Structure 1
Amino acid sequence: MKYVMKFSEIRKEDISAAGGKGANLGELYHAGFPVPNGFCITSRAFDDYMKRNGFDSSAPGNSLTSENIAKGQLWKELEDEIAEYYHALGPDSKVAVRSSATAEDLPEASFAGQQETYLNIQGLNQLYLSVKKCFASLFSTRASAYRKQTNFDTIKISLSVVVQCMVNSEISGVLFTVDPVSKNKSRMMLNASWGLGESIVSGKVTPDIYLYDRDHRQIVEKRLGDKKLLVCYSADGTEEKETSSQLRNEFSLTEKQAIEIFELGRKTEQHFHCPQDLEWAISENRLYLLQARPITTLNVKSSSDIKITKSQRAVLNNWIEHCPTPLYPLDVAPCLLVDEAKNKVFHELGIFVDSELTMADNGLLALSAGKIHISPKIFKIPFLLSRFTDFSINSARTKDSFHNIRKELDSIENSDLTSLPAKALIRQIMELIKLSEELAYTRFRYNIFPSVAVSKLIHHDLKKTDKNMNEYDLLSNLSYKTWNLNIELKKLSGYIHSSPELEQLFMELDSTNPRAISAFLSNQPDFKSKLENFLNEFGWKSNSSYCAFGSVSWFENLDSLFSMLKVLQNSGRNEEATDKFQNIMTKITKQFDKKKSHRLKSKIEEIRVYHVNREESLYLIEMCYGLARRAAFELGNRFPQLFEKADDIRYLTLNEVYELPGNITDLKELISVRKLNRQKNEMLWSGFSMGTKASNQNTLTGVSGNGGRCRGRVRKILTQQEFDKMQPGDILLCRYTDPSWTPLFVLASAVISDTGGPLSHSAIVAREYNIPAVLGIGNATNLLEDGDEVLVDGSSGKVILLK
């Protein structure tokens, strides 16, 4: 045969003919690994295709674009060979058609995702078309850019096409034989989800994650992913379906299955003598190896390699707290604009801080320690303080800013998006992002910075009043946005509780089903009216306050709000310490003379007002983001030729959205590669706190959010869908909290979290309810499990595992 080789004929040395992917598969198939059967259309076929169709870069008038190359014609001899080998796989076999570059899957560069894959292809006509598309994919925008980035554009690269029997997988995923996050060679990392592996490779789901100790041959860590979607076969190839709530909350692999996959990875690594990145699938309880390639990123610095100061780690900790899931490309610019507003205030004081967050053009995020630069202006800080802390000026500027922005937001909120052309939608997004930037500056310059300065000025006097007191205690019993939200939530809960019939219907309601919610509200007009009043005040509150386009507000999805209301129906509720602030005022009166006491109380009142404004600014920013999301998704619906779903617009950057429609072909390529890389961003976010459980590690250290000691059993809550697990008296264990988690504090006897600091949401609410809180541990959710008995020492910032 001239153009086609069976897997059984291919070895790892045949890269020039079968490409990296094909050579590896042939090698594994010949060695007896569980690889589905198939064949390779060799690079000779590709080279002849280019010549026969006149695709020569040196010839005038020819453009080597993927669109042009896909329009070329196959010839009879090649078609006949492909048909013979295809029929040998079985009548009307369903196959996966994958491109395999001759420079692909080498130790120097993986080329993963740079060419195309077509799944569930059946029949010769579909197969021929897919082969031509694979040939064309070598010249796609992202593949060309990758070759240039990795210096492979200077050598001749050809292409083979792998045709392989499809596996109708119930479970699938990716295995790295070296942990790609920590680079720990004694650990392997496994990602798994339901359905075909496309859901993981494309980054459309957060998979289950397993860590394996290869020396002791045991699973040492595992994290449950959301697995919201699964990809399965359809008449048109593949389709996405929503995963049932039961499957979302189950690990996709048994421990026995996971260990079998880890051991398959070990054997593959031993065969190739280097760390491997494997794609695998399970169908009818049989494990298949779909692909293996060398891991090429082990020499790239990870976030754990960066040496940072305590204050800089607090900043990174803050990113994870406010962005519990990775930013989409469209989130990055708004997030950095908020950061720049803060840095602008630093600049006014002579301090320059580099950004900690960056995103490459391919969508990969990177966190690094921001360096601080000082200018001579810093020596003027003592003289600038009086201007920065002028309460009357700060209050006036804040009031004016809030008033003007609220008017603009109300006008935008009432606009009819369906009547606006695309350009008007883009202008609306631009205006909303500009308003969020103005709010961020008001937040930092006129509220947070002066609040911190005044707090430092009175710190000594507070310690004289009570050595255990700090400036955060001054926020007790304060009427601010988040606390008012909590009060209104209790009122809604109380209304439900007042009617046994309504409460029963509400508790039985499937809050994940929008139709069920709609029907429930239609039958409960009084409750619906009260809910609408609540949403008019707090409806733009989201699950991720710094993510402009990746978050979801209560206006957009009532699921998490209803989950919180169900939690509040439980009895045994904590009550906030209503006399705490008054006790502080009384101590100050006794400690100091009348004049100093009055001055100190005035400063305390300033701090409290600053905090009210700080909270209000965040809610207004979230309203900007929610309205921008609304406009962006409407815009996404206007370009079906670019976006498979409206929210795919999140894979563009803000500037790319501003320039729509732009170059549709280039943007589609960018969206595709950024979807692929979202999985790596998920791993970065998970890896930031994923730890390992040492046998002697019984004491976890964080920071004090609130003092006191408590002994009890841990209840791990990782998502809002798990809120109903919480029972009165449990110790709440979580990665982070925001205002939407407040109802859990009603039931908790203590709080432990991976992220957070003394002024985080967790700390403020814990102080209001006077329950111990230890925050910022980093990996508590990995080291502790449901039912673990612990001692929480809020005063020392330690958690001791008892049993």
Structure 2
Amino acid sequence: MEKGTEEVAGVNVLQLTEIIGSAQRDLVGGKAAGLAGLIRLGERVPDGFCVTTEAYGGGEVPRAQVLAAYERLGGGPVAVRSSATAEDLPYASFAGQQDTYLGVTGGQALIEAVEACWASLHTERARAYRQAHGIPHDRVRMAVVVQRMVDAETAGVLFTADPLTGRRGVCVVDAAPGLGTTVVDGAAAVDHYVLDGTEGEGAEGGCLTPARLKELRTTGERIRDLLEAEEPGPVQEQDIEWAYDRDGRLWLLQARPITTLFPAPPPSGKPGARLYVEFGHVQGMLRPATPMGMSTLKSMLAGMLAAFGLTVEIVDIGGRLYGDLTDALRDPSTRQRLVGLMAVDFGPRAQKAVEHLLDDPRFAPMKAPRKRSAAALRTGPKAAVGILGALARPERARARVFGEIERLREEPVTDPATTAELLDLVERDAESSTLADAIVWPVVSGLAVSAALPPLLKGVADEDEIRTVLGGMPYNVTIEMDLALWGVARRAEPYRAMLLSTPPPDLAAAQLAGELPDFGMDAFLRAYGVRSAAEIDVGVARWAEDPAPVFAALANCLRVADPEQAPDRRFERAAERAEAMAAELTGRARREQALRGRLAGFFLRRSRELSGLREAGKFAGLYALRDRRRRLLLIGAQLHARGLLTTADDVMFLDLPELRTVAETGADLRATVAARRTEYERELRRRTVPVALLSDGTDVETLLPAPPSDSRTLTGMGAASGRVPGRARVVLDPSGATLEPGDILVAPTTDPGWTPLFLTAGGLVTETGAVMAHGPTVAREYGIPAVICVPAATERIRDGQLITVDGATGTVTLDS
């Protein structure tokens, strides 16, 4: 029978061979647990012991026990290394955040090194790293690993996948003569090898021979595969520290997951390389979807694409929606158009990534039989009638759109009583999630006329002038929502002190309990309670369930003191500039050619009359998601009452077939739910998401030439005209965010759930997006300068830093 952690409670020192592995992480920390795992796999690891977290909790080094263990090692030089409980985690390595001491000799020096490792847990850099990864300081404890030093001839680091590009199937080795400290501290140049399994790998004159490189590659792959077999789940590529001694023996000094890798695409079963482009950021969502949300989104998106005669395989990678666009990239008739589509619908980052692959021989043009689906044949005539009808009579088209939204809002719905009936209804709705033609074609018409403006006005207007025309756009449901919240703020002035001094979660609880005075919040939530950040995920709570983000935005509105900075005035000014610019551009086109002038005038008018509808389609779809979410939670409550789920919202971490299995057979999937919650929370911490991935895990953007370096100027893409200085407010989650009037919102991305923050923002900077995506569209309509697709903006811009956003040049200047 294996020893459990409870059998060694109170133990201050353990030999590495006594540690059971990950089961004792809380006692020995991540590094010691990893070393014990290597020993258990039969790998060669220097002998040593661990001063446990029990000793750390005592506050004093257990001198006698440590010195006795040191004597058992034979004395001499040892390596003393931190092994905190929050270290070598799957999502945070803590590499270099706590201290290591090499060549420690003698009992007193050893005791002092252990104390120094303990102290390193509380350095400013370690605390900042924990805070960035959401790890509470008071829950971390420190163990210390002591190992016999290896008399290293050569040492370094081995990665079983490329940590820079994400490419699987290769191993990357950095090596240097001696102890290898220059490899991990970056103090000097090292020998760098990328091993893909070809014969004779290794540069002449390097410190590693081809034979040693082959041994390292084989060792890394063996360890990765053994650990995968031991702990089933996604493959955990490994970061392994190693050393060759002067007798040519390979020693392993550490193994931990490569924490920076984005998950690789699942096997497609198709030959050749595949290209996957991320779809979620078009909707302003980079956070992962819950499993139920992903299941719902895949069926909805597949149905929507099928209505247009398109077939795109939708793949879940790291909880994000990716589309397999390989066939379109290889098709000679569509590959160039695909680049243009990326620019309009997916943004410049995706465009550059796809454009780069045009010259990649793996994606060379390939003839394939072209088939037009029956759906495409049916859709063509409907599309023509719908689009031409909207262009001919825009006011009628708008009336149909908003009439349909009102019908969805007011439509009476009933919920069956039994779990089986609820499941049947949810599954049936999931299969028939399509928007009515009354909404689809007016929305498509608005998108089409906006897309037609740049080619129509080529040589007459520049991009910034066209963006000005698209500002202050009427008939936008998201703008109407934001201005409705501004109206609530005006009516809430008598309660200003209370609303500014009470935390949003407390206000939300009071609102739901009916304890707040009536200043319009009830009506606002009746109209817009179906919304939230990441609202396309059915697993996310709506504002009607948790209005805390709305109260946070309301507080921001109450801080606006300058009448000219009021959101309604800013929207009016943007509309006035747009109308004046539309008239100016029409005149310019007419002076060049009368027919061109008439066409320009028509399309500019229609853009003002129809483009604002682009938000209506998504908004209308939220009512079906609201009903689906409510029914899923009812099912969850019933299964929880039967003891089959721990909480009602556990349903969001299953898919529909699994949910039916639980309901009908009583299967216990609580362990599956717990594992998925852990993975979901891990992915929530991820700061960057690749816009384009290859099937081997390569992030395509890492293959592009590096842009010119400028420490003060960040370059993206202008999405809303204007130039404004302000103080950066870096926001990763809109709930509870505070923006003083004029602050520049810096975010990974934005969707309609973020837009209440625009009511006080002076400008917008995002890391991803497209010109016609939700955030930039709303920014234009408020007249807020916006720059999108600024790589790593939330990391390169400090919160509170003074910056200047220039929507015309697509740049962000760091003022200090």
TM-score bracket, shorter-length normalisation = 0.5 to 0.7
Tell me the CA shift for residue 628 of structure 1.
Answer: 1.3
Cα distance in structure 1, aligned partners of 2:711 and 2:613: 42
Under a length normalisation based on structure 1, what TM-score does the superposition of the two structures give? 0.59
Cα distance in structure 1, aligned partners of 2:716 and 2:46: 50
* C-alpha contact (below 8 Å) 1:636/1:646 kept by paired residues: yes
2:793 corresponding residue in structure 1: 780
Matched, 1:544 2:534: yes
Cα distance in structure 1, aligned partners of 2:770 and 2:498: 39
Cα distance in structure 2, aligned partners of 1:598 and 1:324: 42
Cα distance in structure 1, aligned partners of 2:266 and 2:795: 20
Matched, 1:701 2:715: yes
Tell me the CA shift for residue 407 of structure 1.
Answer: 4.5
The count of aligned residue pairs is 577
Distance 1:512 1:21, change over 3 A: same
* C-alpha contact (below 8 Å) 2:289/2:537 kept by paired residues: yes
1:712 corresponding residue in structure 2: 726
Find the partner of 1:736 among 742, 749, 770: 749
Tell me the CA shift for residue 734 of structure 1.
Answer: 1.6
* C-alpha contact (below 8 Å) 1:472/1:758 kept by paired residues: no
Distance 1:429 1:404, change over 3 A: farther
Find the partner of 2:295 among 333, 341, 354: 333
Larger mean Cα displacement after TM superposition, 590-599 or 20-29: 20-29
Structure 1: which amino acid aligns with 2:430?
I
Find the partner of 2:580 among 583, 596, 602: 583
1:485 corresponding residue in structure 2: 481
Cα distance in structure 2, aligned partners of 1:226 and 1:555: 30
Matched, 1:769 2:745: no
Cα distance in structure 1, aligned partners of 2:676 and 2:450: 44
Find the partner of 1:513 among 492, 495, 506: 506
Correspondences of 1:144-543 after superposition (within 5 Å): 173-176=86-89, 222=129, 252-253=136-137, 294-295=255-256, 302=263, 316=278, 318-319=280-281, 322-344=284-306, 347=309, 352-355=311-314, 357-358=315-316, 367=322, 370-373=325-328, 374=331, 376=370, 387=384, 390-392=387-389, 407=407, 410-413=410-413, 415=414, 417=415, 420-434=417-431, 437-439=433-435, 446-447=441-442, 449-467=444-462, 468-470=464-466, 473-474=469-470, 476-497=472-493, 499=494, 502-513=495-506, 517-518=510-511, 521-522=514-515, 524=517, 526-527=518-519, 530-543=520-533
Cα distance in structure 2, aligned partners of 1:668 and 1:325: 23
Tell me the CA shift for residue 743 of structure 1.
Answer: 3.9
Tell me the CA shift for residue 515 of structure 1.
Answer: 7.5
Tell me the CA shift for residue 455 of structure 1.
Answer: 3.8
1:668 corresponding residue in structure 2: 670
* C-alpha contact (below 8 Å) 2:476/2:614 kept by paired residues: no
Cα distance in structure 1, aligned partners of 2:680 and 2:2: 40
Residue 316 of structure 2 aligns to a residue in which SS?
Answer: strand
Deviations 1:571-595 (A, max 9, x none): 2325222312321342244232777
Q: Which runs of no fewer than 5 residues in structure 2 stay unpaired?
A: 25-32, 56-83, 99-123, 160-222, 228-252, 268-273, 332-368, 692-698
Structure 2: which amino acid aligns with 1:328?
T
1:198 corresponding residue in structure 2: none
* C-alpha contact (below 8 Å) 2:767/2:792 kept by paired residues: yes
Correspondences of 1:114-125 after superposition (within 5 Å): none
Cα distance in structure 1, aligned partners of 2:306 and 2:741: 45
Structure 2: which amino acid aligns with 1:701?
T
Where relative contact order (Cα < 8 A, 6+ residues apart) is larger, the structure is 2
Cα distance in structure 2, aligned partners of 1:34 and 1:738: 49
* C-alpha contact (below 8 Å) 1:175/1:188 kept by paired residues: no
Matched, 1:617 2:584: no
Cα distance in structure 1, aligned partners of 2:128 and 2:308: 41
Tell me the CA shift for residue 25 of structure 1.
Answer: 10
Residue 512 of structure 1 aligns to a residue in which SS?
Answer: helix
Distance 1:612 1:313, change over 3 A: farther
Cα distance in structure 2, aligned partners of 1:770 and 1:513: 33
Residue 616 of structure 2 aligns to a residue in which SS?
Answer: helix
Tell me the CA shift for residue 341 of structure 1.
Answer: 3.7
* C-alpha contact (below 8 Å) 2:52/2:143 kept by paired residues: no
Structure 2: which amino acid aligns with 1:486?
D
Tell me the CA shift for residue 762 of structure 1.
Answer: 2.6
Distance 1:659 1:617, change over 3 A: farther
* C-alpha contact (below 8 Å) 1:564/1:740 kept by paired residues: no
* C-alpha contact (below 8 Å) 1:318/1:756 kept by paired residues: no
1:568 corresponding residue in structure 2: 557
Find the partner of 1:650 among 624, 649, 652: 652
Cα distance in structure 1, aligned partners of 2:600 and 2:689: 45
Tell me the CA shift for residue 2 of structure 1.
Answer: 11
Tell me the CA shift for residue 452 of structure 1.
Answer: 4.4
Deviations 1:373-432 (A, max 9, x none): 346469999x9898387321798999879867865664454x3x4x62112222332344
Tell me the CA shift for residue 334 of structure 1.
Answer: 1.7
Cα distance in structure 1, aligned partners of 2:595 and 2:458: 18
Residue 741 of structure 2 aligns to a residue in which SS?
Answer: coil
Q: Which runs of no fewer than 5 residues in structure 1 stay unpaired?
A: 39-170, 181-185, 191-216, 228-250, 279-291, 307-311
Distance 1:173 1:370, change over 3 A: farther
Tell me the CA shift for residue 326 of structure 1.
Answer: 1.0
Matched, 1:33 2:33: no
Cα distance in structure 1, aligned partners of 2:578 and 2:527: 26
1:636 corresponding residue in structure 2: 636
Tell me the CA shift for residue 727 of structure 1.
Answer: 1.7
1:137 corresponding residue in structure 2: none
Distance 1:315 1:515, change over 3 A: closer
Cα distance in structure 2, aligned partners of 1:2 and 1:358: 38
Deviations 1:203-230 (A, max 9, x none): xxxxxxxxxxxxxx96798585696xxx
Larger mean Cα displacement after TM superposition, 748-757 or 690-699: 690-699
1:107 corresponding residue in structure 2: none
Cα distance in structure 2, aligned partners of 1:509 and 1:650: 31
Deviations 1:465-487 (A, max 9, x none): 43343367335331220111122
Cα distance in structure 1, aligned partners of 2:810 and 2:383: 35
Distance 1:342 1:631, change over 3 A: closer
Deviations 1:528-565 (A, max 9, x none): xx32222222121111132122x222111110111111
1:791 corresponding residue in structure 2: 804
Tell me the CA shift for residue 516 of structure 1.
Answer: 5.2
Cα distance in structure 1, aligned partners of 2:758 and 2:265: 32
Distance 1:722 1:397, change over 3 A: closer
Residue 726 of structure 2 aligns to a residue in which SS?
Answer: strand
Residue 644 of structure 1 aligns to a residue in which SS?
Answer: coil
Structure 1: which amino acid aligns with 2:587?
K
* C-alpha contact (below 8 Å) 1:705/1:758 kept by paired residues: yes
* C-alpha contact (below 8 Å) 2:749/2:767 kept by paired residues: yes
Residue 465 of structure 2 aligns to a residue in which SS?
Answer: coil
Tell me the CA shift for residue 623 of structure 1.
Answer: 1.9
Tell me the CA shift for residue 451 of structure 1.
Answer: 4.1
Cα distance in structure 2, aligned partners of 1:473 and 1:314: 34
2:543 corresponding residue in structure 1: 554
* C-alpha contact (below 8 Å) 1:176/1:188 kept by paired residues: no
* C-alpha contact (below 8 Å) 2:390/2:442 kept by paired residues: no
* C-alpha contact (below 8 Å) 2:386/2:437 kept by paired residues: no
Cα distance in structure 1, aligned partners of 2:132 and 2:3: 43
Residue 720 of structure 1 aligns to a residue in which SS?
Answer: coil
Under a length normalisation based on structure 2, what TM-score does the superposition of the two structures give? 0.59
Tell me the CA shift for residue 714 of structure 1.
Answer: 1.5
1:141 corresponding residue in structure 2: none
* C-alpha contact (below 8 Å) 1:409/1:624 kept by paired residues: no
